[in-house]
Structure 1
Amino acid sequence: MVDPLAEVVALLQPQAPFSKLVVASAPWAVRRAETGRPFYFAVLEGGCHLTIDGPPHSNTITLNAGDFALIPAARGFATSSLDRQPPGEGESVTTPIAQMPGGARIGDPDGAVDVRMLVGNCVLGSPDAALLVSLLPQWVHVRGESRLSTLVQLVGDESRAARPAREIVMTRLLEVLLIEAFRSSASTSASPGLVRALADPKLALALRRMHEHPAEPWTVAQLAREAAMSRSAFFARFSRAVGVAPMEYLLAWRMARAQQMLRQRELAIAEIAERVGYSSVSTFGVAFTRHVGMPPGRYSKGDIC
């Protein structure tokens, strides 16, 4: 059985080459502008607030020990101690930040530590990461997941140790942590996206069918039958869970698959068009150009902006 999330994660090629230990003493607050890369938090001890900038509006979540949060799309965010709300967009922040080996110390350097967490940037190896990230939630927050808690503990232990090959081990553990966060769909708190939809058994059936047979001439009515729902109920439920309409999601997935095949340069454009549901090269070319921003032939030559 095809696993839609596994396919998207495999195409993304996630890596976690950078992380740092953050230690903070209340009261504190930090705001970070958009970095251009996904960002993650693994809380080792204590807790904090995290506000993720919109659109359509900002979302504030509370992170506790053992929690993992991931912001797949680059966007601004703010964190703060539990005794205050994170600063809003444009709000000035005056909390002192001091560099320390392997990380940063936030707040009073002599104060009691109220949170220890690993934070870092992710690198998505796919040149089409922006398109694929659009299929994922704006944020993922995982709590109460024993496998993730174990990984967070392992990462924390490794971060505090001075063992041989520490950096290599940290990188591998963080890569596994990222993938496990996406896999934990059933117990994951997330904004609309693929993760939330896969936690819905009926929507998951339709999503798997789209991924198993992207070349099928799917309609909303056919997908609704796969999910054993009425057309209107399926459309509304899918749109709420994923954040886009069923046909919009199908188009994004077809284009992601097409881009992968074009980069591999193993198939003719006509065969790629057929494999992603287009009866002719011309109709495929129009759709691809509109969605990606350049014709398939130019894309296959490596002219990727």
Structure 2
Amino acid sequence: MTADPLAEIVMLLQPSASFSKLVECAGVWRIRRNVEGKPVFCAILEGGCRVIVGGQPPVILQAGDFVLAPATHDQVIESIQPPPHGIDMMSTGIGEGRFRVGREGPPNLRMQVGVCSFASPDAALLVSLLPTMVVARGEPRLATLMQLVGDETRKSRPAREVVLERLLEVLLIEALRCGTEPASVPSLARGLSDDRLVAALRAMHARPQHGWTVAELASETAMSRSAFFKRFNHVVGLPPMEYLFAWRMALAKRLLRGGELAIGHIAERVGYGSASTFSTAFARHVGMPPARYARTEHVP
């Protein structure tokens, strides 16, 4: 198994594109989206705007910026000079994959917007480890990746779904590793950017079968047990052993869906000394024994 936590989580999410479109906005305007928790990403091609996600303070975006919200429940994008409170606008189609918002006249914003979904049954858990919003500035590769996603979304080429999944994986990883996020929001991305905590995170992902303790993980970071526990909880958003348990269960589900390994072997792979102790932990976490989960979720 790889020891790259960010890549593993993005691949486990199993992203697939819902749609991608080019949006032009003119005058004073506001767009409000409620996309039921789906990931939304946006590349600003020309002009500028304000974006508000989940009630956080507005962020100003300019040409060349990219924003990713892995689980958007309420997103507002509006002109730099916003319209009066409560006035939202709808987009109008003006061509294939092209939409316009606001009055007639030259646009003050052009942006490529995409919405995708995560097929993983553990999407809620995995997304909770990611930042609420990520902003990347001056990264032209992200705009290029978005154009490729948009082009692939609109065409019916062979292996379209496979290509889209790979493109989205690269897009999400690139955004998460080069973007910034509100420093006060705990997440896996913050943990991976922490010079000390990253050693413990990589160790857990490289050897999930090992019987890790908080003291052992603290030694990986050259910190005391108490200092490591406090820092991990503050930066990542949950205690280290809770993170390890959640990660082991996500791996176990993936192995069970594959249908290639016996439950005893899966138990060993995710750090349990016997099939019975693994089955008890899995049933407590998932709500059903691993054997039944494997039968109901097996992907041929």
Give the direction of change, closer, same or farther, for the CA distance of 1:26–1:232 in structure 2 (3 Å limit): farther
Q: Is 1:104 aligned to 2:95, yes or no?
A: no
In structure 2, the residue matched to 1:182 is 173
Moved segments of 4+, more than 6 Å = 163-166, 168-171
Q: Is 1:278 aligned to 2:272, yes or no?
A: yes
Write the mapping of 1:86-97 to structure 2, written as runs, cut at 5 A. 92-97=86-91
Rounded Cα–Cα distance in structure 2 between residues aligned with 1:93 and 1:283? 56
Shift in Å, 1:279 = 2.2
In structure 2, the residue matched to 1:72 is 70
Rounded Cα–Cα distance in structure 1 between residues aligned with 2:252 and 2:15? 20
Rounded Cα–Cα distance in structure 2 between residues aligned with 1:297 and 1:103? 48
Rounded Cα–Cα distance in structure 2 between residues aligned with 1:153 and 1:45? 14
Amino acid corresponding to residue 78 of structure 2 in structure 1: S
Rounded Cα–Cα distance in structure 2 between residues aligned with 1:125 and 1:207? 24
In structure 2, the residue matched to 1:127 is 121
Q: Secondary structure at the match of 2:7?
A: helix
Q: Contact (CA 8 Å) 1:44, 1:156: kept in 2 or not?
A: no
Rounded Cα–Cα distance in structure 2 between residues aligned with 1:118 and 1:192? 28
Q: Deviations over 1:111-165 (max 9, x none)?
A: 33111111121132333322322222222222233xxx13415745996xxx999
Q: Secondary structure at the match of 1:18?
A: strand
Rounded Cα–Cα distance in structure 1 between residues aligned with 2:152 and 2:192? 40
Amino acid corresponding to residue 256 of structure 2 in structure 1: L
Q: Contact (CA 8 Å) 2:20, 2:149: kept in 1 or not?
A: no
Q: Contact (CA 8 Å) 2:131, 2:189: kept in 1 or not?
A: yes
Q: Is 1:294 aligned to 2:282, yes or no?
A: no
State the TM-score, normalizing by the size of structure 2. Answer: 0.84
In structure 2, the residue matched to 1:114 is 108
Rounded Cα–Cα distance in structure 2 between residues aligned with 1:133 and 1:248? 15
Shift in Å, 1:250 = 0.8
Q: Deviations over 1:46-92 (max 9, x none)?
A: 12111111xxx5343222212221111242211111113896xxxx3
Rounded Cα–Cα distance in structure 1 between residues aligned with 2:200 and 2:173? 19
Q: Deviations over 1:239-295 (max 9, x none)?
A: 222122211211111011000000011111122122211223333223222322332
Q: Contact (CA 8 Å) 2:187, 2:237: kept in 1 or not?
A: yes
Q: Contact (CA 8 Å) 1:42, 1:69: kept in 2 or not?
A: yes
Amino acid corresponding to residue 56 of structure 2 in structure 1: S
In structure 1, the residue matched to 2:49 is 48
The percent of aligned pairs where both chains have the same amino acid is 47
Q: Is 1:266 aligned to 2:277, yes or no?
A: no
In structure 2, the residue matched to 1:194 is 188
Rounded Cα–Cα distance in structure 2 between residues aligned with 1:75 and 1:128? 18
Aligned equivalent of 1:248, options 220, 242, 245: 242
Gaps of 5+ in 1: none
Q: Is 1:137 aligned to 2:122, yes or no?
A: no
Rounded Cα–Cα distance in structure 2 between residues aligned with 1:203 and 1:66? 31
Amino acid corresponding to residue 135 of structure 1 in structure 2: L
Rounded Cα–Cα distance in structure 1 between residues aligned with 2:33 and 2:141? 28
Rounded Cα–Cα distance in structure 1 between residues aligned with 2:153 and 2:196? 45
Amino acid corresponding to residue 114 of structure 1 in structure 2: N
In structure 1, the residue matched to 2:6 is 5
In structure 2, the residue matched to 1:27 is 28
Q: Contact (CA 8 Å) 2:31, 2:90: kept in 1 or not?
A: no
Q: Secondary structure at the match of 2:58?
A: strand
Residues paired across the two proteins, number: 290
Q: Deviations over 1:218-247 (max 9, x none)?
A: 122211110111222222222222122211
Rounded Cα–Cα distance in structure 2 between residues aligned with 1:232 and 1:291? 27
Write the mapping of 1:147-158 to structure 2, written as runs, cut at 5 A. 149-153=140-144, 155-156=146-147
Give the direction of change, closer, same or farther, for the CA distance of 1:43–1:167 in structure 2 (3 Å limit): farther
Amino acid corresponding to residue 22 of structure 1 in structure 2: V
